[in-house]
Every structure is written in C-alpha cells, then in structure tokens.
Amino acid sequence: MKSRLPLRCWAEIDLAALERNLRLIRASLPPHMRYVAVVKADAYGHGLQQVAARLMHAGADLFAVANLAEAASLREIGPGWPILLLSPLLPEEDRYLVEYDLIATVSTSDEVRRFDAVGRAAGRPVTVHLKIDTGMGRAGIWHECAEKLCAEILASPNIKLGGAYTHFAKPDEDPAFTDEQRKRFLKALACCPKLDLSQLFVHADNSAGLDTLEAAGPFNAVRIGLLQFGIVPGRDGLLAHVKTEPTFSFKTRVGIVKKLPLGTGISYGSTHTLRRDSTVAVLTAGYGDGIPRSVSNRASVLVHGIRCPILGRVTMDQTVIDITDIPTMTKVASGDECVIIGRQNGAEITISEFSHAADTIPWETLCSVTKRVPRLYKTVLGV
Ligand SMILES: Cc1ncc(COP(=O)(O)O)c(C=O)c1O
C-alpha cells in the first residue's frame, strides 16, 4: 500500500469548531431566524463537501453557492437539501435548475421568462428568490423597479417564489448606509402587496450585517459565510457578542536552516539585505501554495511559538524567514512545523492580521490557498 507522503504545506480544518460556531451564531439570533450557510468558493477554501456535511449536521436550513458546479457537488451529499444559487445563471445552464433541483436568483425579466420556460418544459415549477439591489450595484433588480419584476414572477405559472433578498455593500464600514439599504428593501417589498412574506425566506444580513440585524420586520433568515469560519469581518468591536473560533490553520515546515553574513541580499530582487549576521530558515511553501507575494518583507510566521519575520520576496515554493532571535537552546531543525495562520505554543497569527499584511481581506486569503495544499480535517463530534 502507498504510504502518505510527508506534508510540506497543509491546512487544518476544525470541523468541530465549525459546528460550535454555527450553534453559537444561531443562539445569538432571534429564534425564528433561519440559517443560510454560504459555502461558495469551496466553502471559502475549506472544502465544500466536508463543510456542508458538517453544517447539515449542525442544522443549517439552506445552502448558498455561487454556481452550478458547486451546487452539483453539494447535491451529491445532500439530496433534497435546499440550495440557492447566488450568481446569475448563463442561459445554457438554465436546464440544470431542474436536474439538480436548485433555487435560482432572479434579477431581470429575461430570467423570469427563461426560468418559466424551464419549469414549463419540466412540468414542475422552478423555485426562485427575488434579489433586490438596494445599493450594492451588482446582482438584483434596482429597488425602485422591483414592483414590476415581482408582479412578473407572481404571474408566471411555472415559477415558485421562495424568497426575497438583498445584499449590503458596506455593513462593516457604514451602519447608516446599511440602514438605508434595509429601508429601501422593505419599501420595495411593501410595493408588492401580493407577496406573502411569511411564506418566504426574507434575508439581507451577511456576517457583518448581524451587528445591525433587525429582529422586527419581515426578516427571517441570515446568510452567513465568514463568521461561521470563526473570522470576524471588518473593524474591531464588530460582533463582539458572538465568540466564534477559527476553523482554518495554514502550516508549513522548515526545509533548511543556515547562517548568512550581514549584508547578504535575500531572495529574488534582493529586496531585503541582512542588517546583522543572521540565522535564516527556508520554508517549504510559497505563493504556489497560497502565501501571497504581497506579504514579502511584511508578515511573520510562528516557529516554536515565536514570531519570525519573512525576509525578502516569497517565491513559488520557498519562503525565507529570520530565526536569529529564537533562543539557541530552542534548536530549529529541518522538518519543524511553522504556522502561517493559526496558533502555536500560545502564540497566534490571525487570518485578519495575515490578510492585513497581504493588503487584502480574509475572504481572499482563504480563496487563495491553492489546490496543492492538502486539507486535513479534525472531525471530532465534540459539541
Ligand atoms: C450574496 C452574498 N450573501 C452572503 C455572503 C456571505 O458574506 P460573509 O462571508 O461576509 O458572511 C456573500 C459573500 O460574499 C454574498 O456574496
């Protein structure tokens, strides 16, 4: 039998923490709120099927994905589970709505006609959620035009309206604008008097939206991505009441340790020059694994629980760090584990800190961890 090769760079996914997070988030919400688990982009790089299976067990009500391929993969493990497609479909994808029993997002009259035709041909209605653009400027019907689109949906015999939603543009930055978006959404819904909101999923809030969630009114579902992975979006203090735990750690190992003299340039372009005689470690991971080049000379990694700065440019497969300040009795050796994101010996590099160093956001950091990186799952059902 082939033995498993030693790991050079890997991600650890804590599914038990994921389950605890869902339950915590739920407990912080009014009891009637349903939980739409956003698992697009391979469940934010965690692995779609593994994450979705655990969230099904933990009691998610509905899954939201971006596209058909994700929906088909999810359908393999959850026959009958409701799946909402958040992104617009291409016309040649329409027929799969029925084949995979999916819920489509509707933003245009053209989509209403197309989905009605699909339902007619299949002999059963296609379920849709009406998306209203209240200021995101992306998918959705502009809120002032929603009344007409809503009437078209309700008049289509082969379409079943299952929900209505909007998406916030800056919930972590601008509560006043978020409030305005909520008002626009409610006003648009009020213009559709034939809607029975109690029969629909009515949702607006993503993770950051929870801070200003309105328990009153017709909202009865939330769409949670980042927070279920234990990452608090945006500025400090947000969502302080929901103490989730990180589910994702990103690790690599020391390849070699060596001493270099003061004045040596490190890595491509020699963007760092050693200011002292130094001990460096060459790690067995680079941007080919998802350590972005933008953290060159900016982020640190943990070795034996000590922060060690990245020196010079991150390369495709190797990254150099400064371990000069690690006490000599803590001998660093080839094979030692290093933490890019996560905890080690009481120290922590959060995904938010790492993303800040990379001049990006945690969502993108997670999506950038490449296929080369095996995901290892902690599956203990210790909830
Ligand atoms: C339409 C929609 N809803 C919900 C989410 C989840 O957002 P978050 O990860 O901030 O919870 C996203 C994420 O991009 C989204 O595009």
> Of 230, 252, 172, which Cα lies nearest the Cα of 44?
230
Could you tell me if 86 and 41 are in contact, meaning their C-beta atoms sit under 8 angstroms apart?
Answer: no
- Find the Cα–Cα–Cα–Cα dihedral 188, 143, 96, 55, rounded to 10°: -70
Whether residue 215 has pLDDT greater than 60: yes
pLDDT tens digits along 278-336 = 999 999 999 999 999 999 999 999 999 999 999 999 999 999 999 999 987 789 999 99
* Residue 13 CB neighbours (<10 A): 23
Query: Which residues are annotated as catalytic?
Result: 40, 268
Strands 62-65 and 159-165, sheet pairing: unpaired
Rounded mean pLDDT, 206-221: 86
User: Does residue 383 surpass a pLDDT of 60?
Assistant: no
Residue 268 has pLDDT above 90, yes or no: yes
Q: How confident is the model at residue 2 (pLDDT cuts 50, 70, 90)?
A: low
Atom of ligand 1 nearest to the CA of 206: 11
Q: Determine contact, residues 17/247, Cβ cutoff 8 Å.
A: yes
Residue 278 Cα to ligand 1 middle (Å): 44
Of 199, 337, 324, whose CA–CA distance to 264 is shortest?
324
Q: Beta strands of 104-194 (E only): which ranges?
A: 104-106, 126-133, 141-142, 159-165
State residue 34's pLDDT score. Answer: 96
Instruction: Say whether 316 counts as a known binding-site residue.
Output: yes
Mutate to test the pocket of ligand 1, among 67, 103, 133, 167 (most ligand atoms within 8 A of CB): 167
pLDDT of residue 227: 96
- Ligand 1 centroid–CA 64 distance in Å is 9
Nearest residue to 62 (alpha-carbon basis) of 265, 294, 236, 223: 223
**For residue 239, pLDDT beyond 90:** no
Asked if pLDDT for residue 33 goes beyond 70, the answer is yes
Q: What is the DSSP string of 348-370?
A: EE-HHHHHHHTTS-HHHHHHHS-
Domains of the chain: 32-229 (3.20.20.10), 248-378 (2.40.37.10)
Nearest-angstrom CA–CA distance, 140 and 105: 8
Q: What residues are paired with 164 via a beta bridge?
A: 130, 202
User: Ligand 1, closest atom to CA 38?
Assistant: 6
Closest by alpha carbon to 150, among 187, 201, 102, 188?
188
Give distance in angstroms: CA of 226 to centre of ligand 1: 8
Q: Considering only CA atoms, which residue is closest to atom 14 of ligand 1?
A: 225
pLDDT exceeds 70 at position 235: no
The Cα 261–Cα 274 span in angstroms is 7
| Residue corresponding to tokens 């010996």 | 345
Q: How far is the CA of 371 from the centre of ligand 1 (A)?
A: 23
How many degrees, rounded to 5, is the angle at CA 206 between CA 201 and CA 209?
A: 110
Of 27, 75, 24, 9, which Cα lies nearest the Cα of 287? 9
Looking from the CA of residue 36, the nearest atom of ligand 1 is: 4
Overall average pLDDT of the 101-119 stretch:
98
Mutation choice for ligand 1 from 210, 223, 242, 248, CB with most ligand atoms inside 8 A = 223
> pLDDT value at position 241?
77
Question: Which residue CA neighbors atom 5 of ligand 1 most closely?
Answer: 206
- Residue nearest (by alpha carbon) to ligand 1 atom 6: 225
Distance CA 127, CA 57 (A): 24
138 annotated as ligand-binding = yes
Identify whether the C-beta of residue 204 lies closer than 8 Å to the C-beta of residue 212: no
Q: Indicate which atom in ligand 1 lies nearest the CA of residue 167.
A: 1
Identity at 183, one-letter amino acid code? K
- Centre of ligand 1 from the C-alpha of residue 37, in Å: 9
First CA to last CA distance, the chain: 35
At residue 213, the pLDDT reads 82
- Centroid of chain to Cα 377: 17
Indicate the range of 57-66, 104-113, 204-213, 243-252 predicted with least confidence.
204-213
How far apart (Å, rounded) are the C-alpha atoms in residues 20 and 29? 15
What residue owns the CA closest to ligand 1's atom 13?
Answer: 225
Which residue from 25, 34, 36, 38 has its CB within 8 A of the most atoms of ligand 1, so it is best to mutate? Answer: 38
State both tokens at 97. 């709505």
Predicted pLDDT of residue 255: 98
pLDDT in tens, 274-290: 999 999 999 999 999 99
Does 233 score more than 90 pLDDT? no
Mean pLDDT, the chain, whole residue set? 95
Which residues, in sequence order, are CB contacts of 358 under 8 Å at separation 6+? 292, 294, 295, 298, 299, 365
Write the pLDDT tens digit of every residue in 136-171. 999 999 999 999 999 999 999 999 999 999 999 999
Binding-site residues, ligand 1, Cβ < 6 A: 38, 86, 167, 206-208, 223-227, 233
Token duo for residue 101: 């029993």
What's the sign of the alpha-carbon dihedral 43, 44, 50, 51?
Answer: negative
Q: Could you identify the residue written with the tokens 């033995």? A: 3
